[in-house]
C-alpha cells in the first residue's frame, strides 16, 4: 500500500492525491454524469394503523456530477428515498405517487421487469446501508461478480473481472485476493469497498450510498470517505449519499439535503447549509452536534423527540411541535419548499426571505 503518509488538505473538494490509479481503473465511457429529478414522491407503509406516508411529496433535484448528501435523523425517510430512486421500496411499503426522472433512463418509477432490473446495477449503483452483510455468505466475491455480469448480459466476463480487480486496487485492496474471498474473510472496511466496487463495476453513473460508513471504525470511515470522493471524481459520477451523520456529509458532499419526517426541509450547497442554516430544524440539528471546537456549553439538544410514522402530524408542518419559530399557520398548512438562489427551504417562518421567483424548486 502506498497511501500518502501525511496528507495536508486545505479545501475539501478536489485535492485528491493525484490521479495515479494503480492498475488503471477503466474510465467510464464519455458522456456527462446523469442528473436526477424527484417530483412529489410519496411513499406509504402499510401499518396496523393504515397506510402512513414515509415520504410526503418529496421533490429534489440532484445536479449532474455532484455529490449530494441526504441527512436526517433515524426514521426521517432517507433510506426510503434512496430505495425509491431504484424503484425498490420493499413491502409493506409502496410508492404512492410522484416520479423519479434520471437522465438517460426516464422515469424510473415507470420501469418494469427486466427493464428495471437492467437499470439497477448498470445505470444505478446502490451501496447498501448494512454493507457488512450485503454479500452472499456462501459465494466468493468473484463468483458474485460473475453472477452480476451474467445477469446483465456482459459478454466479456474476463474484462469484467479485470475491471473489478482494478477498481478494488484503486481502493487500496489486493484485488485478486479479495475476489477469491468469502464475505466472512473480509473486514468491514473491505466489505464496504467491495460493495462500492459491485455498484460501479458495470459503469453505473449514478451512485447511491446508504449510510456507507455506519458501523465502521473512525479511521476506516475516513478512508472510505476519501475513496468515495476520489472515485466519484475519477469516474464522473453523480453521487447521492445518505447518512445520519452530518459530519460525514459535510466531509464529502457538495450539496446537502436535510430531511425531517419524510420531507426535505432544506437543500443547498453544503458549505452554505452548514454555515448558515435556514430551516429551524437544520439550525437545531447543527447546534446539537457535539463538536471538537467551540464552546461546548453553547451546544443544545433539540427539544422533543423525532417523529415516527405513527406520531407524524398529518396536517400542517411536520416539525412544528419541536419548532422554536412555530406560528399559527404551521398547524394547518404544510410549508412548501421555496427556492432562493442555490437554497431551497420549506418553512413558513422563512417565507419572507423567499424571492418571488422561488416557489418550488426550478419553478
Ligand X SMILES: Nc1ncnc2c1ncn2[C@@H]1O[C@H](COP(=O)(O)OP(=O)(O)OP(=O)(O)O)[C@@H](O)[C@H]1O
Residues 41 to 70 in contact with ligand X, rule: CB under 6 A? 45, 47, 54
Q: What is the DSSP string of 126-192?
A: EE-TTGGG-S-TTSBHHHHHHHHHHHTT-S-HHHHHHHHHHHHHHTTS-HHHHHT-BGGGS-HHHHH
Collect all residues with Cβ–Cβ distance below 8 Å to 275 and sequence separation of at least 6.
Answer: none
Contacts to other proteins from residues 193-232, by CB under 8 A: 195, 198-199, 216-223, 225
Q: Which does residue 94 touch among ligand X, Mg ion, other proteins, none (CB within 5 to 8 A, set by kind)?
A: none
Contacts to other proteins from residues 333-352, by CB under 8 A: none
Give the residue with the Cβ less far from Mg ion, 79 or 282: 79
Q: For ligand X, which residue of 133, 187, 308, 333 counts as binding (CB under 6 A)? A: 308
358 binds ligand X (CB under 6 A): no
Collect all residues with Cβ–Cβ distance below 8 Å to 74 and sequence separation of at least 6.
Answer: 244, 306
Q: For other proteins, which residue of 251, 267, 317, 354 counts as binding (CB under 8 A)? A: 251
Q: For other proteins, which residue of 95, 250, 259, 264 counts as binding (CB under 8 A)? A: 250
Give the residue with the Cβ less far from ligand X, 21 or 309: 309
Give the residue with the Cβ less far from ligand X, 80 or 253: 80
Q: Beginning with the edge strand found earlier in the chain, give each strand of the sheet holding 36-47 in spatial order.
A: 50-62, 36-47, 93-102, 106-107
Q: Which does residue 331 touch among other proteins, Mg ion, ligand X, none (CB within 5 to 8 A, set by kind)?
A: none
Contact 354, 339 (CB under 8 A): yes
Collect all residues with Cβ–Cβ distance below 8 Å to 177 and sequence separation of at least 6.
Answer: none
Give the residue with the Cβ less far from ligand X, 76 or 278: 76
66 binds Mg ion (CB under 5 A): no
Nearest to 69 by CA among 59, 58, 57, 82: 82
Residues that bind ligand X (CB under 6 A): 45, 47, 54, 72, 74-80, 92-93, 244, 308-309
Amino acid at each position: 500500500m502506498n497511501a500518502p503518509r501525511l496528507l495536508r488538505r486545505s479545501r475539501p473538494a478536489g485535492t485528491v492525491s493525484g490521479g495515479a490509479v494503480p492498475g488503471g481503473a477503466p474510465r467510464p465511457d464519455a458522456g456527462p454524469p446523469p442528473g436526477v429529478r424527484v417530483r412529489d414522491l410519496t411513499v406509504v407503509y402499510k401499518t396496523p394503523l393504515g397506510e402512513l406516508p414515509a415520504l410526503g411529496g418529496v421533490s429534489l433535484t440532484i445536479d449532474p456530477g455532484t455529490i449530494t448528501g441526504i441527512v436526517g435523523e433515524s426514521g426521517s425517510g432517507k433510506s426510503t428515498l434512496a430505495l425509491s430512486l431504484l424503484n425498490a421500496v420493499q413491502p409493506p411499503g409502496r410508492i404512492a405517487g410522484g416520479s423519479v426522472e434520471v437522465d438517460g433512463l426516464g422515469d424510473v418509477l415507470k420501469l418494469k421487469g427486466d427493464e428495471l432490473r437492467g437499470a439497477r446495477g448498470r445505470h444505478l449503483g446502490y451501496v447498501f446501508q448494512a454493507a457488512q452483510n450485503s454479500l452472499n455468505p456462501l459465494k466468493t466475491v468473484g463468483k458474485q461478480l460473475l453472477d452480476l455480469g451474467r445477469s446483465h448480459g456482459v459478454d466479456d466476463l474476463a474484462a469484467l473481472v479485470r475491471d473489478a480487480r482494478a477498481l478494488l486496487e484503486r481502493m487500496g485492496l489486493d484485488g485478486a485476493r479479495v475476489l477469491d474471498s468469502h464475505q466472512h474473510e473480509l473486514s468491514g472496511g473491505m466489505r464496504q469497498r467491495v460493495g462500492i466496487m459491485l455498484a460501479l463495476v458495470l459503469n453505473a453513473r449514478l451512485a447511491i450510498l446508504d449510510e456507507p460508513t455506519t458501523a465502521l471504525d473512525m479511521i476506516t470511515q475516513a478512508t472510505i470517505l476519501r475513496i468515495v470522493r476520489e472515485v466519484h471524481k475519477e469516474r464522473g459520477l453523480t453521487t447521492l449519499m445518505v447518512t445520519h451523520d452530518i459530519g460525514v456529509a459535510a466531509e464529502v458532499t457538495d450539496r446537502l439535503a436535510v430531511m425531517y419526517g419524510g420531507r426535505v426541509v432544506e437543500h443547498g450547497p453544503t458549505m452554505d447549509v452548514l454555515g448558515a442554516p435556514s430551516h429551524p430544524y437544520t439550525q437545531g440539528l447543527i447546534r446539537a452536534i457535539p463538536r471538537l471546537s467551540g464552546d461546548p456549553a453553547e451546544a443544545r439538544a433539540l427539544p422533543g423527540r423525532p417523529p415516527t410514522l405513527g406520531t407524524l402530524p398529518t396536517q400542517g408542518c411536520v416539525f412544528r411541535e419541536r419548532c422554536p419559530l412555530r406560528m399559527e399557520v404551521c398547524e394547518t398548512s404544510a410549508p412548501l419548499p421555496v427556492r432562493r438562489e442555490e437554497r431551497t427551504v420549506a418553512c413558513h417562518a422563512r417565507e419572507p426571505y423567499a424571492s418571488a421567483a422561488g416557489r418550488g424548486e426550478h419553478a
